[in-house]
Structure 1
Amino acid sequence: MENPILVISSRVHYPESQHRGAIAVVNAAGKVVYSVGDIETPIFPRSASKLFQVLPLIESGAVDAYHLGQEEIALACGSHNGEDTHVQIGEKWLQKINKNENILACGTHRPMGKKAVQELIKKHQSPTPLHNACSGKHLGFITTALHRGEDPQEYISRQHPTQKRVEHTLSEITNFETSTAPHAIDGCEIPVIAIPLYNLAWGMANLADPKSLPYVRQKAIHLVIDSLKNHPNLIAGDGAFDTELIRATEGRIIAKMGASGTYVAFSSEHALGIALKIDDGNIKAAEIAMIHILEELGLIDTERSETLGHEKIIFTYNSKPVGKIHAAPKKRQF
């Protein structure tokens, strides 16, 4: 059966596109609090895994060994806009590990943030690997390998000890056996493992309520949360949904986007984890679906929902509003 329609794109008042998807809301005991659609078939979480992938960096002792702070940790969690602040933190991080940007295997692309692109054009500069949205995550992998005395070359290989630790962490925190799961290569070259929405949400719930986890992991999770609360601009950037959600809720809710319409979030206050996937990969539809499930669960109020953009206006190239992307009627959605 098809997943239900969660979001609709309308031009004037007539539907133009319909975005189907699935949502899982789970507590730390693994109980499904709410679900819609298929939450059991594994999906590629892409960058939505970053809140898990950063944990080995902290647990290994590399953070202390290289005198990394909350800024580096927040950057490692992020899919950043490539703003000057993001690049500067990456440059300082490279200095701390005595490496240059050539060690980064993430590749180079135009910054995700429009302002960052404009700044590069104004300065007549080209993007570097530090402008890559995943540069912080890669710096975390490299730093962990160096701290453990491992060759950082080929750190992106699934067989490298760094990636084996990351995958083991993913398996533990999501309570899902990843060894036989579908796997592929992410846009930034690292392995990506397919995980069901149910298990992704359970993993998020473990971040929200880690008291059943080993003390070392609890400590690492608290450091991640504090880092993102204190530096919300580093998970994405000014105006980006992940950053603005942390600001709007004063860190009570933390969300992380993943490519191709995946989103995860958790609420420490309510000890809940959320994972959703829009089938056609529309990231704007995923943001809207996340805002509305947060509102339906009572995790944000209507005022914050509207501030965060519970509807996205469609404009012409002359900036004339001609439609909107909005949640499907509640009787079909929540």
Structure 2
Amino acid sequence: MTNPVAMAEVWRDPFLESVHHGHAVVCDDTGQIVQTWGDPHKMILPRSSAKMIQALPLIESGAADAYGLGTEHLALACASHNGAAIHTDRVTKWLDYLGLNDSDFRCGPQEPDDRDARNALIRAHESPCQMHNNCSGKHSGFLTLNKHLGTGPDYVDPDHAVQRACLEAFERVTGESSPGFGIDGCSAPNFATSLHGMARAMSHFAAAPTGSAEERLRSAMMLHPDLVAGEGRACTNLMRAMGGKVAIKTGAEAFFIAIIPELKMGVALKIDDGGTRAAECAIAAILVKLGVLEPDHPETLKYLNAPIRNRRDLVTGAVRAAPALV
């Protein structure tokens, strides 16, 4: 096993205060490793970075076309959204069209990360519902597939036909048999693979031909970065900065992926300590290194050499990419 490498550093004035270590892999369209940091064989749970894989059966089964899903629906199926109105309004309409409602979800309620949505709930003396869950788009996709298959309501059960289809897709695109799963925050199984396997899957998405399920999903993400995450989020900000040419997606516990069609490359990244600030910094550094993100773009600078400010708004330090990534 290869030891993790330093990927992000936190500086306070002239002092190196903290270091985040992790692993990353870049694969080409053959699934071979182009560049690696740390251990490419590290077994990982990709968490929400796997949502585009979990959405493959939605298209491949014919369900997406049978129910007339467009690019916004597909982007939401891959999303970890803020629970803003632009997200929940679309999810509500999607379920209405299916003849379903909030009670059909199995993802659980979540307070929205969007401040306006959260304040609106407080003013109305209302509680968050499952529509506000950051995974409600993915679960809308699950429900659409479930309705198409005509199977039972507990679609997050690992033995349910929906999740068996997700596992088949996951093992197919990672090129590996999954050793098992953990239950994600939204109650769906999250299948394990190696970091190389996840990067291989993303390169598969990057190289997929026009009209394929993989191409439709990556294109939807790149077309609607605001639906994939939301205002103020790294996924949305960095996809906008790259002009719709790259799809990126975060996952809990500091996971990140990138799908780069013009290079036919995929990236998978894991920070060992679960620090989001480090994952955002590291993925920005790798995207800059690969030439698809401008190093001096204002959105890049929010994550790469990002200033740390105190309560008086004084710059006291910065989060920087470690030398191995520069």
Taking structure 2 as the reference length, what is the TM-score of the superposition? 0.94
Task: Measure, in 2, the Cα distance between the counterparts of 1:312 and 1:121.
Answer: 32
Instruction: Determine the structure 2 residue equivalent to 1:162.
Output: 162
Q: How much has 1:308 moved relative to structure 2?
A: 5.0
Instruction: Determine the structure 2 residue equivalent to 1:108.
Output: 109
Counterpart contact for 1:244–1:308, Cα < 8 Å: no
What secondary structure sits across from 1:40 in the alignment? coil
What secondary structure sits across from 1:299 in the alignment? coil
Instruction: Determine the structure 2 residue equivalent to 1:127.
Output: 128
Task: Measure, in 2, the Cα distance between the counterparts of 1:123 and 1:236.
Answer: 25
Counterpart contact for 1:9–1:325, Cα < 8 Å: yes
What secondary structure sits across from 2:212 in the alignment? helix
Instruction: Determine the structure 2 residue equivalent to 1:257.
Output: 250
Counterpart contact for 2:241–2:293, Cα < 8 Å: no
Q: 1:185 to 1:249 in 2, by over 3 A?
A: same
Q: How much has 1:9 moved relative to structure 2?
A: 1.5
Q: How much has 1:195 moved relative to structure 2?
A: 1.1
Please tell me whether residue 172 in structure 1 is matched to residue 165 in structure 2.
Answer: no
The one-letter code matched in structure 2 to 1:234 is L
**2:278 maps to which of 275, 285, 302:** 285
Equivalences for residues 304-315 of structure 1 within 5 A = 304=297, 306-315=300-309
Instruction: Determine the structure 1 residue equivalent to 2:234.
Output: 241
Counterpart contact for 2:282–2:325, Cα < 8 Å: no
Task: Measure, in 1, the Cα distance between the counterparts of 2:111 and 2:307.
Answer: 25
**2:293 maps to which of 300, 325, 333:** 300
Equivalences for residues 187-198 of structure 1 within 5 A = 187-198=185-196
Please tell me whether residue 232 in structure 1 is matched to residue 230 in structure 2.
Answer: no
Instruction: Determine the structure 2 residue equivalent to 1:320.
Output: 314
Counterpart contact for 2:206–2:259, Cα < 8 Å: yes
Task: Measure, in 1, the Cα distance between the counterparts of 2:159 and 2:89.
Answer: 31
The one-letter code matched in structure 2 to 1:278 is I
**Which segment is superposed worse, 230-239 or 85-94?**
230-239
Q: How much has 1:66 moved relative to structure 2?
A: 1.8
Q: How much has 1:199 moved relative to structure 2?
A: 0.8
Moved over 4 A (4+): none
The one-letter code matched in structure 1 to 2:84 is E
Counterpart contact for 1:25–1:273, Cα < 8 Å: yes
Q: How much has 1:55 moved relative to structure 2?
A: 1.0
Instruction: Determine the structure 1 residue equivalent to 2:71.
Output: 70
What secondary structure sits across from 1:25 in the alignment? strand
Task: Measure, in 1, the Cα distance between the counterparts of 2:87 and 2:121.
Answer: 14
Q: How much has 1:292 moved relative to structure 2?
A: 0.5
**1:273 maps to which of 259, 266, 271:** 266
Task: Measure, in 2, the Cα distance between the counterparts of 1:144 and 1:260.
Answer: 28
Q: How much has 1:81 moved relative to structure 2?
A: 0.5
Counterpart contact for 1:4–1:333, Cα < 8 Å: no
The one-letter code matched in structure 2 to 1:52 is I
Q: How much has 1:28 moved relative to structure 2?
A: 1.6
CA deviation digits over 1:65-106, x for unaligned, max 9?
222221111111000000011000010011111011011111
Task: Measure, in 1, the Cα distance between the counterparts of 2:42 and 2:285.
Answer: 23
Instruction: Determine the structure 1 residue equivalent to 2:18.
Output: 17
Task: Measure, in 2, the Cα distance between the counterparts of 1:133 and 1:144.
Answer: 19
Number of residue pairs aligned between Structure 1 and Structure 2: 324
Q: How much has 1:123 moved relative to structure 2?
A: 4.2
The one-letter code matched in structure 2 to 1:315 is R
5+ residue gaps in structure 1?
none
CA deviation digits over 1:201-221, x for unaligned, max 9?
11000111024xxx9xx5212
Task: Measure, in 2, the Cα distance between the counterparts of 1:130 and 1:318.
Answer: 37
What secondary structure sits across from 2:187 in the alignment? coil
Q: How much has 1:122 moved relative to structure 2?
A: 4.2
Q: Percent identity?
A: 35
The one-letter code matched in structure 1 to 2:126 is Q
Q: How much has 1:306 moved relative to structure 2?
A: 3.5
Counterpart contact for 1:291–1:308, Cα < 8 Å: no
Taking structure 1 as the reference length, what is the TM-score of the superposition? 0.92
Instruction: Determine the structure 1 residue equivalent to 2:199.
Output: 201
